Amino acid sequence: MLCNICNKNKATVHLTEIIDDQMKELHLCEECARHKSAAMESQFGLSDLLAGMAQSGKPSTDKEVTLARCPNCGLTFADFKKIGRLGCGDCYSAFRKYLVPLLKRIHGSSQHLGKSPQKVTRVMKKKIDIHDLRVKLQRAVEQEAFEEAAKLRDAIKELEKKQSQENQA
Amino acid sequence: MIINDLLNHTSEWLRSTGPNSDIVMSSRIRLARNLDKLPFPHWASKKQSENALQMIEGVCSRVDFLKSSTVFKLADLDNVDKQFLVERHLMSPDFAQKSDNRAVIIDNEEILSIMINEEDHIRMQVMQSGFNLFEAWNIINKIDDYLAKELNFAFLADWGYLTACPTNTGTGMRGSVMLHLPALVMTTQINRVLAAISKLSFTTRGLYGEGTKATGNFFQVSNQVSLGHGENDIIENINSLIKQIIEQETQARQTMLSRERAVLEDRISRSLGILKSAHIITSQETIELLSMVRLGSDLGIIKDLDRCTINELFITTQPAHLQKLENNKLSSSERDVKRAELIRNKLTKQ
């Protein structure tokens, strides 16, 4: 049998490759096999270890993972695989679904329970306040307590106005 | 403050004033923080790194708490200066490798250091003498609050502080305790202890952190997990582990005292003898012998030598410290002579 790649030398190495769930048999000569194995090694270097852990969950297509790119800093998931470091804070949102299993593996959890910056705490608290008021408003409308509902509506508007002003500042 | 002022100063964490100072050299908390939207240092352009440096430096200069600190730009320091700061545990060995747009802010007491543009935009640490992680946390927590008032940190409600490496995400906190465990090493129990530590998802490192070997029977134990637990929880966990290690070291020391007192006294006294009389000594040998002398002082076998003096010698006998003291570049063999001289002077003066 001749080598599948060069079609010149006798095939002495027999490989089974699985790409996208498709099994493919390859029969190669020694030289072509060496090239092929070097290419494979460069694909799966040590730095892949971290990122590789991320893919142990549900199998996503390789292309989708590699092409994912952070809109803020331009780092691709393939870059992350190579260097083991993310590019900016926004990468965490851009690669969220690949990072969840990774964070769980490293930390045994993917839920932050520590402190948060005061600014963020205030914003989060306001969001919760507005949410509470909306629930109350809904209830007031259902009970046809329109006077109460009007007050709640004004309070929500006021809070939202403040929040957008603060965001602009 | 200029860098040479540090030469005649004893770092707060070496004073041996904190709890359990016999076994615990120091406690340290470090926090990793990044600026929102700005690429992390390894991925940032020159201009972006410059921006980050200016922003952080600017805010730090306005914080009251940091009034008595000094900014050292790495580009202004030579290699000996950088190594000098590494030896004092004020910056990481990796940080000293490059200079572009990197700076470190150090307070006069050497309790606090803030590295700018390390792996993350901000790596700040607070060091305390002895077993005192909570005090370190209280201090660094306040500084973090001050900085967060003026800087927007990269943060997500469910994932916490976002860091270049996902191993630091969450609290961005690492608590480390530097332990001196000569008796566990001598009674060959240390491997069992180290194995137990790693099973509990803590790590052990050497005297100078990541990638350094344990020398002089010093082991730095720190948490590995930073997400899924609050800061206080993480510290409680380290504390309960450290308490157990302290207990085991204390027991091992007592066992050796009662079963092999003469052997122990001999080894400790010989170590002191070599340090007091050697004319050529390497830094490795110095650390090993000082470790024995420190143990001797803890056990009352050596009476006229205080622990702070011994702690200081671990640092001042390092290569960059010797060169700063001599104000001259020294070859390795020249250093071995100067080191022996320095130790003889210190120990016979006592």
Q: Which one is predicted more confidently, B64 or B122?
A: B122
**Predicted pLDDT of residue A80:** 93
Q: Which residue has the higher pLDDT, A100 or A20?
A: A100
Residue A166 has what pLDDT?
67
pLDDT of residue B134: 97
Q: Is the pLDDT of residue B339 over 60?
A: yes
Contact A85 B42 (CB under 8 A): yes
Q: Does position B14 have pLDDT exceeding 60, yes or no?
A: yes
pLDDT of residue B239: 96
pLDDT at A42: 42
CB contact under 8 A, A112 and B157: yes
Check pLDDT > 60 for residue B271: yes
Comparing A26-30, B9-13, B180-184, B217-221, the range with the smallest average pLDDT is: A26-30
Instruction: Give yes or no for residue B268 having a pLDDT over 60.
Output: yes
B165 vs A84, A108, A124: nearest CB: A84
Strand order through the sheet with B202-205: B69-73, B103-107, B112-116, B122-129, B24-33, B173-180, B218-223, B202-205
Separation of alpha carbons B38 and B51, rounded Å? 9
Contact B34, A117 (CB under 8 A): no
pLDDT band at B210 (very low <50, low <70, confident <90, very high): low
A7 has a pLDDT exceeding 60: yes
| Contact: B171, A106; criterion CB under 8 Å | no
* Chain A residue with Cα closest to B233: A114
Instruction: Identify the helix (H) or strand (E) that includes residue A23.
Output: strand A22-28
- Cα–Cα dist B307/B243, whole Å: 21
Give me the pLDDT at residue A120, please. 74
- Span B251-255, average pLDDT: 96
What pLDDT does residue A20 have? 47
Write b or e for each residue in A52-91: b if 16 or more Cβ atoms lie within 10 A of its Cβ, otherwise e: ebbbeeeeeeeeebeebbbebbebbbebbbebbbbbbbbb
| Residue, of B244 and A49, whose pLDDT is higher | B244
DSSP string, B219-240: EEEEE---SSS-HHHHHHHHHH
Q: Smallest CA–CA separation between A107 and chain B, in Å?
A: 5
> Among residues B100, B94, B334, B294, which one has the least CA distance to residue B178?
B294
Nearest chain A residue to B35, by CA: A89
Q: Using a pLDDT cut of 70, give the percent of chain A over it.
A: 67
> For residue A135, how many other CB atoms are within 10 A of its CB?
11
Q: Which of B37, B144, B169 sits opposite A90 (nearest CB)?
A: B37
CB contact under 8 A, A115 and B156: no
Tokens of B175: 């608590």
pLDDT in tens, B288-332: 999 999 999 999 999 989 999 999 999 999 999 999 999 999 999
Contact criterion met (CB < 8 Å) for A115 and B166: no
Q: How much of chain B, in percent, has pLDDT values that exceed 90?
A: 84
- pLDDT tens per residue, range B55-110: 999 999 988 888 889 999 999 999 999 999 999 999 999 999 999 999 999 999 99
Greater confidence (B4 vs A60) lies with: B4
- Closest Cα of chain A to B145: distance in Å? 7
Interface contacts (A, B; CB < 8 Å):
116
Return the minimum-mean-pLDDT range out of B76-85, B203-212, B229-238, B310-319: B203-212
* A15-66 per-position pLDDT tens digit: 655 554 455 667 777 777 777 665 554 444 334 445 555 454 444 556 667 7
Test mutation, B30, B34, B40, chain A, max A CBs within 10 A:
B40
* Chain B residues near residue A51 by CB distance under 8 angstroms: none
Q: Quote the percentage of chain B above a pLDDT of 70.
A: 97
Residues of A in contact with B171 (CB under 8 A): 112, 114-115
Selected for mutation to probe chain B from A106, A123, A125 (highest B CB count within 10 Å) is A106
User: Using 50, 70 and 90 to split pLDDT, how confident is the model at A152?
Assistant: confident
Cα-Cα-Cα-Cα dihedral sign, residues B177, B183, B186, B189: negative
Residues of A in contact with B227 (CB under 8 A): 103, 106-107, 109-112
pLDDT in tens, A112-139: 999 999 877 666 666 667 777 888 888 8
